[in-house]
Chains A and B, each alone.
Chain A
Amino acid sequence: MKDGSFQQGFGHLVGPDQVHRDLYIDPDVYRAEQARLWTRAWVYVGHESQTPAVGDYTTTDIAGQSMIMLRSSGNEVTVLMNRCAHKGSQLVHEHAGNCGKVLRCPYHAWTYRLDGSLLSIPLKNDYEGTNLSACPSGKGLASPGAYVNYKGFVFARISQDGPDFESYFGEALATLDNMVARAPDGELSVLGSPLRNRIGCNWKLYLENVNDTVHPISTHESAASAAKHVAEALPEGGDTVLAMEQLLPFGAGYSFYSEMGARVLPHGHSILGTKFSIHTGYAPLPDYQAELEARHGKEGAQQILAFSPQNTVLYPSLAAKASPMILRVLRPLAVNETLIETWAFAPKNAPARLRQRAASYARLVFSPMSVVAHDDVHLFESQQRGLACDGNEWLSLHRGYQESELQAGASSMESGNNEWVIRNQHRGWLNLMGDAA
């Protein structure tokens, strides 16, 4: 571990109402995060619908470690380290593919069953009398410390030790539950490929913005006002234009967000928009609603559809929207570089409008070509540069701060504008960075 310079811990960087710039710009802090936080946390790997057939796999890098999510049998998804037990070659080199009935290393043809166990080695007789079977290299492919397939959403924890999945996420899982409950058949599927953004900022600046209700009015002024301008030219009483339904709410004022409510949870998780959000006003789909009522009853269906938060943070790797159904996955690449993958989802056999909603929102707001994202990305990268300036080493998170929140645990708040949802991320950070995390 290269974090010997932090023998006193990290508490001096996270004040009750402000955080130090080193959180975002110090390469040593970043290295310590990779070794501590990203190995101890439960990190999103992928959704099982990405690997529908036996042998289907996807790869993803978490904390600089390549992992394979693999459909090992009809109803089982396995997570393995993408590292041959022999001498370390990666076993697969695509983002997604099918490996057939076995994983075979291209280098020396060691082969493994789909559960990672060793199947065969060339020149097997030459290993007789050696210690191979007693060594790590003789025991098949390594796995992360733990992984869980939660209703189709696959998460891994690299470290052997740490909190179990359910107690780590707790109430934050309600948003994933809600996504699944929105499927009349109980099953979700990813739509096509993810939008992949490479942003020149520390990952925490991106994740804070997921909970930042005050930026849209100034950051997105140009996109919101352009949307308003073109919407005015639309014929009155025409069909709802999906893009306008999604973009016009970006013009909402401060008071809209101050009334939407929020909830903070242990470990950095949060739900923003517990009462409503910019996604609440989407046009109802009566046929789809009837299907949900058939499964959950009228009241049950209404409750499912009424829960439509702005964003749920499943700290540290995931930001979820239940409607439109979208997951944003954070993958830090360097202290000043972050990969964001945006996946659109829809219930299987859903009406086309639900697929269109998720695909449209992903494109309009999270594409590398999105005019909404352009202003976000510009300002995140601007923050990353601005923080290098001496004279003030702190970022203010004072809005709505009260000392009582330090001991509060899971709490609801009236105002979505209270920066508690962001301060809570940093308390989760400190917890995962600590020796006892």
Chain B
Amino acid sequence: MTSQQMSTDTSTLHAALSAFVYHEAMLLDTRRYDEWLSLYAEDGLYWMPLSPDQPLGDEAPSLLYEDLLLLRLRMQRYGNPRAHSLHPAVRGLRILQAPQIAQAEPGSTVHQTRTPFLYVETQGDAQRTLAATAHHTIEGEPGAFKLRMKKVVLLNADASLPAIQLLL
């Protein structure tokens, strides 16, 4: 393999990872939750720690620490007309910086990206903005990527927070 080939492979991979991260956010923006869930690996995890350096695990509180079962539960509730807190309707929008490739080698099976973003959630006349960094752990080949973990670190994870109703 020439160095030019390798660099082409690397940039193709990086572009595919970026596209995956943007696509994932778009599916949440547009509430295409079934497609969003299908991005996840079977043992995938969505995690929002209470501090940037919190160790991974379920033996201390997190803002959110959900496997596919709990994510499905969350989506299932969205569809219930008696999910009172969703009236009036809640809408969310994610404004992403270009994803940074933290770790991605052609031929490797696990890749990592880091994406600072703003999340805006609106309901009735109230609108709130949160700042966060998303760390995606993505496995597999371009075209067949699966999300192993989405870790979202809120800039103010240690602050007292209002109800955040949708996923970031």
Interface size on B, residues (CB 8 A): 32
Q: Is the CB of B61 within 8 A of A362?
A: yes
Which residues does chain B contribute within 8 Å of A229, judged by CB atoms? Answer: 73, 76
Stretch at the interface among A120-128, A215-223, A413-421: A215-223
Does residue A296 face the partner (Cβ distance < 8 Å to B)?
Answer: no
Partner of B63, one of A218, A226, A227, A363: A363
Cα A393 to Cα B70 with chains together (Å) = 41
Q: Which of B2-10, B13-21, B47-55 participates in binding chain A?
A: B47-55
Bound together, the chains give a CA A193 to CA B85 distance in angstroms of 26
Are the CB atoms of B60 and A226 closer together than 8 Å?
no
A220: min CB distance to chain B, Å: 9
Chain A residues with CB below 8 A from B65, complex form? 363
The B interface is mostly helix, strand or loop, or mixed, namely loop
Nearest Cβ in chain B — how far from A332, in angstroms? 13
Residues of B with C-beta under 8 A to A198: 160-162
How far in angstroms is the closest Cβ of chain B from A367?
5
Q: Are B60 and A192 in contact (CB under 8 A)?
A: yes
Q: Establish whether residues A197 and B72, one from each chain, have CB atoms under 8 Å apart when the complex forms.
A: no
List chain A residues, Cβ under 8 A from B50: 192-193, 195
- Asked if B132 is at the interface (CB within 8 A of a chain A CB), the reply is no
Whether the Cβ atoms of A371 and B74 lie closer than 8 Å is yes
Docked CA distance A342–B72 (Å): 25
Are the C-beta atoms of B69 and A375 separated by less than 8 Å?
no
Name the contact of B61 in the complex, choosing from A192, A222, A223 (C-beta under 8 A).
Answer: A192
Question: A197, B77: Cβ atoms under 8 Å?
Answer: no
Cβ of B89 within 8 Å of any chain A Cβ, yes or no, is no
Closest to B54 in A: A192
| Contact of B165 with A222 in the complex, beta carbons under 8 Å | no
Q: In the assembled complex, which residues on chain B have CB atoms less than 8 Å from the CB atom of A230? A: 69, 72-73, 76
Among A76-84, A203-211, A260-268, A353-361, the stretch in contact with B = A353-361
State which residues 43-88 of B face A: CB under 8 Å.
48, 50-51, 54, 58-65, 69-70, 72-74, 76-77, 80, 82-85
- Among residues of B, the one whose C-beta sits closest to the C-beta of A360 is B58
Closest-CB distance, B128 to chain A (whole angstroms) = 11
Closest 6 CB pairs of A and B: A192-B60, A378-B85, A222-B83, A374-B85, A222-B80, A226-B76
B binding-site residues for A, Cβ under 8 Å: 48, 50-51, 54, 58-65, 69-70, 72-74, 76-77, 80, 82-85, 158-165
Chain A residues in contact with chain B, CB under 8 A? Answer: 95, 191-200, 218-219, 221-223, 225-227, 229-230, 234, 241, 243, 247, 339, 341-342, 344, 352, 355-356, 359-360, 362-364, 367-369, 371, 373-375, 377-379
